A and B are shown apart, each in its own frame.
Chain A
Amino acid sequence: MSDDPEVLLDVKDLTVRFGVKRGGLFGEPKYLYAVDDISFQIKRGKTLAIVGESGSGKTTAALAVARLVEAYKGTVDLDGTDFLTLEDEDLRQARAKMQFIFQDPYSSLNPRVRAEKIVREPLDNLESGAKEDRQQIVDKLFEAVGLHPEQQRLFPHQFSGGQRQRIGIARALATQPDLIICDEPVSALDVAVQAQILNLLRKLQTDFGLTFLFISHDLGVVQHMCDTIVVMYMGKVVEYADRLSLFNNPLHPYTVALLSAVPSVDKKRRAEMKRILIPGDPPDPLDLPKGCRFANRCPVAIERCKTEQPILNEVALGHQVACHLVDERAVSPLS
């Protein structure tokens, strides 16, 4: 349990592994560590982002926090209760406090269910209150996310992508959760629609005092939405810092390369930013190197990086980095 009453979600040593069959019936079972020993905290009313590229484990981490994927070890402490130890009925009830917004608005809504019922489902599952009361909540939610009340009777395919995502958001809000996990909530939407959804999420955060765990690969969006950022690479946290530190003084070579790879319309940034191209592809997740997982692509890797795994180290206030080459001076080895 966290001592800080400000902290809503405290994730410790979260690990998710998947068994992968290898070598026939009697072969040694191999495990893929999709999320490997990660820890982070989110304060009430704040937004923490997990960023990373495909295969980094960011989505798996989010699913494990919400217990939609079973964690192998670790604790997920939501407001004083360890979410991972809850069983059956307790878990079903506790889910009300933690809701999920999904990436793909086309597959996250049941095509055979009317919009109003999709939004009402979490309430129906909890059997909270009379049916009329639930309907009233649905009415309010539709308004809150900017949909017409007449649209309640429609089926998902009669909505555009952005509207569908609004339904998904309304569904997540239905049980008045403390924490909402947003898994790439805008990456499947057209650019102009993305802005509508991002603005809506920020507005709802202020209006309802929500806390967000935000999963994204889009650093521009993360920069706009989040207060704290966790950068993941191959299941490990490589850097963990507040927004300004991370974007203005990225320390881990991977973070630096990731940031420099984002194309920008800002002329000044393009002129100043030296693009660091990292060659090659990430290693095979079933055959991870002994040392730093980024070593094979890192432009400044030394011998030690290949043999010894770096641990997450606080190098400045609220700025943790897992790199042998970063020390208390908090200077990136690439600068």
Chain B
Amino acid sequence: MTAPLLKVENLRIELTTRDGVAPVIDDLSFELGAGESISFVGESGCGKSMTALGIMGLLPEKVGRVASGSINFAGEELSTATEKRMREIRGNDISMIFQEPMTSLNPVYTVGEQIAEVLRAHQNLSKAAAWASAIELLDAVRIPNAQRRVSDYPFQMSGGQRQRVMIAIALACKPKILIADEPTTALDVTIQAQIFDLLNDMKRQTGAAIIMITHDMGAVAEMAERMIVMYAGRNAEQGPVEQIIERPRHPYSKGLIACVPHIMATLTEERRELTEVAGIVPSLREFGKNRCLFASRCNMVTQKCLDKRPPEVAFEGQQMSACWHAEAV
């Protein structure tokens, strides 16, 4: 096996809050191969987006920092890279799209200008060449009549179209990794289907690896090959998507899958009560304690869970679960 494109090892990201320093990411390790797609799943406040920001070097200034561990991108250490180097990497080698297409575009520039801007910044294209590429990119993300729409302002476009423009900007420099942070949460489901289709298409064409952050297990099943279930800043479970959905080894992943009413192939009269995951994600004060942070919501909890943080246990086919009772789940 060749070296992975992105290798994150024992990453710890600390956030300074009013109540002190909390490890919002606590000992997270994962690998991402070239052209692979991986998904981060979990409820809000579990550190999914923080991981993405950590990789991008965009942690909130003065408040957040990589405390230990490494983020290795194609042989280069990103956690210690200079801001100047990170600027070169961002948008060029690693780029990101966000949840809210309404606010992530600048309202006072045309979409063409915003795409061209990225191209000129990273690839030294001439103005005319950048503009031409912008039209090509809009066409590639299936905006009809790209020639004309390139001079539209963001407000003249629908939510779905704006997200396409974001994707065009993100893919402008043919990045090796595209991070998509809840890219379709704000969009309607038929538009979500269009965006997923587009992302899969772009992935095939450019060979970019995709990190998708989501809370929707269905979307994970649709989009990713591997997934990382995160809970309270820690890796709860990680492994191939099919395998985890088929046989989750962590009560949290199991809960996340079972608590959503999924549409099955054939619907029957029968409707079972949904499995509940009681309670909510713990507050930041709880993060980093030496015990299983999911214990307070878990129905398999024993004294051991409250005494010591569970180690990651490996199962066949790279499935790894951080639970004392992984075998029994």
Specify which of B43, B194, B196, B267 is in contact with A191 (CB 8 Å cutoff). Answer: B43
Determine, out of B6-14, B81-89, B132-140, B270-278, the stretch whose residues face the partner at the interface. B270-278
Which residues of A have CB within 8 Å of B262? Answer: 220, 264-266
| Given A265-B217, A267-B242, 9 other A-B residues pairs in contact with their CB atoms under 8 A | A192-B255, A194-B259, A195-B276, A220-B260, A221-B261, A223-B263, A269-B263, A269-B264, A278-B190
A219 with B189: CB separation less than 8 A:
yes
Please name the 10 residue pairs, one residue from A and one from B, whose CB atoms are nearest each other, closest first: A224-B261, A263-B218, A195-B259, A261-B193, A53-B188, A192-B277, A263-B222, A195-B274, A269-B265, A268-B265
Q: How many angstroms from the CA of A220 to the CA of B142 in the assembled complex?
A: 28
Specify which of A194, A199, A244, A281 is in contact with B158 (CB 8 Å cutoff). Answer: A281
Q: How many angstroms from the CA of A33 to the CA of B269 in the assembled complex?
A: 36
A265 with B221: CB separation less than 8 A:
yes
Q: How many angstroms from the CA of A279 to the CA of B142 in the assembled complex?
A: 9
> Closest approach, in angstroms, between the C-beta of B210 and any C-beta of chain A?
15
Which residues of B have CB within 8 Å of A261? Answer: 189-190, 192-193
Contact of A191 with B263 at beta-carbon distance under 8 Å, contacts A196-B278, A199-B273, A280-B144 already known: no
Q: Is A217's CB within 8 Å of the partner chain B?
A: yes
B189 with A270: CB separation less than 8 A:
no
Contact of A248 with B263 at beta-carbon distance under 8 Å, contacts A192-B277, A217-B188, A265-B218 already known: no
- A-contacting residues, B133-172, CB 8 Å: 142, 144, 158, 160-161
Interface size counted on chain B using CB atoms at 8 A: 49
A53 with B190: CB separation less than 8 A:
yes
For this complex, 10 residue pairs linking A to B, each with C-beta atoms less than 8 Å apart, are A53-B188, A191-B260, A192-B280, A199-B273, A219-B189, A220-B261, A225-B261, A244-B267, A277-B197, A278-B194
B218 with A199: CB separation less than 8 A:
no
What per-residue 1/0 map shows which CB atoms of B252-295 lie under 8 Å from chain A?
A: 00011101111111111101011111101100000000000000
B267 with A247: CB separation less than 8 A:
yes
The residue in chain B whose Cβ has the minimal distance to the Cβ of A160 is B280
Which residues of A have CB within 8 Å of B268? Answer: 244
B189 with A53: CB separation less than 8 A:
yes
Q: Is A54's CB within 8 Å of the partner chain B?
A: yes
Q: Is A303's CB within 8 Å of the partner chain B?
A: no
Q: Is A57's CB within 8 Å of the partner chain B?
A: no
Which residues of A have CB within 8 Å of B263? Answer: 219-220, 223, 247, 259, 262, 264, 266, 269
Q: How many angstroms from the CA of A281 to the CA of B142 in the assembled complex?
A: 12
Q: Is B245's CB within 8 Å of the partner chain A?
A: yes
Main secondary structure of the interface of A (DSSP, over half): helix
Q: Is A156's CB within 8 Å of the partner chain B?
A: no
Which residues of B have CB within 8 Å of A280? Answer: 144
- B-contacting residues, A191-250, CB 8 Å: 191-196, 198-199, 202, 217, 219-221, 223-225, 243-244, 247-248
Q: Is A275's CB within 8 Å of the partner chain B?
A: yes
Q: Is B219's CB within 8 Å of the partner chain A?
A: yes
B242 with A244: CB separation less than 8 A:
no
> Closest approach, in angstroms, between the C-beta of A300 and any C-beta of chain B?
16
A262 with B277: CB separation less than 8 A:
no
What is the size category of the interface that chain A forms with chain B? Answer: 35 or more
> Closest approach, in angstroms, between the C-beta of B285 and any C-beta of chain A?
15
Which residues of B have CB within 8 Å of A269? Answer: 263-265
B271 with A224: CB separation less than 8 A:
yes
Specify which of B191, B192, B274 is in contact with A224 (CB 8 Å cutoff). Answer: B274
A191 with B219: CB separation less than 8 A:
no
Interface residues of B (CB under 8 A from A): 43-44, 142, 144, 158, 160-161, 188-194, 196-197, 215-219, 221-223, 242, 245, 255-257, 259-269, 271, 273-278, 280-281
Q: How many angstroms from the CA of A261 to the CA of B219 in the assembled complex?
A: 10
Q: Is A16's CB within 8 Å of the partner chain B?
A: no
Q: Is A257's CB within 8 Å of the partner chain B?
A: yes
The residue in chain A whose Cβ has the minimal distance to the Cβ of B278 is A196
Which residues of A have CB within 8 Å of B281? Answer: 190
> Closest approach, in angstroms, between the C-beta of B233 and any C-beta of chain A?
16
B219 with A195: CB separation less than 8 A:
no
B255 with A258: CB separation less than 8 A:
no
Q: How many angstroms from the CA of A223 to the CA of B267 in the assembled complex?
A: 9
Q: How many angstroms from the CA of A70 to the CA of B56 in the assembled complex?
A: 49
Which residues of B have CB within 8 Å of A132? Answer: none
Most buried by A among B215, B267, B269, B281: B267
Which residues of B have CB within 8 Å of A259? Answer: 263
Q: How many angstroms from the CA of A163 to the CA of B129 in the assembled complex?
A: 55
> Closest approach, in angstroms, between the C-beta of A184 and any C-beta of chain B?
13
- B-contacting residues, A139-185, CB 8 Å: 160-162
A244 with B222: CB separation less than 8 A:
no
> Closest approach, in angstroms, between the C-beta of A259 and any C-beta of chain B?
7
Which residues of B have CB within 8 Å of A272? Answer: 265
Which residues of B have CB within 8 Å of A278? Answer: 190, 194
Contact of A190 with B43 at beta-carbon distance under 8 Å, contacts A258-B189, A264-B263 already known: yes
Which residues of A have CB within 8 Å of B217? Answer: 191, 265
B189 with A217: CB separation less than 8 A:
yes
Specify which of A161, A221, A248 is in contact with B266 (CB 8 Å cutoff). Answer: A248
The residue in chain A whose Cβ has the minimal distance to the Cβ of B259 is A195
Q: How many angstroms from the CA of A288 to the CA of B215 in the assembled complex?
A: 35
Which residues of B have CB within 8 Å of A279? Answer: 142, 194
Which residues of B have CB within 8 Å of A53? Answer: 188-191
A263 with B259: CB separation less than 8 A:
no
Most buried by B among A258, A261, A265, A273: A265
Q: How many angstroms from the CA of A281 to the CA of B255 in the assembled complex?
A: 35
Q: How many angstroms from the CA of A97 to the CA of B260 in the assembled complex?
A: 31
> Closest approach, in angstroms, between the C-beta of B4 and any C-beta of chain A?
27
A266 with B259: CB separation less than 8 A:
no
A191 with B193: CB separation less than 8 A:
no
Most buried by B among A263, A264, A268: A263
Q: How many angstroms from the CA of A259 to the CA of B142 in the assembled complex?
A: 22
Which residues of A have CB within 8 Å of B216? Answer: 191, 263
> Closest approach, in angstroms, between the C-beta of A80 and any C-beta of chain B?
31
Which residues of B have CB within 8 Å of A264? Answer: 218, 221-222, 262-264
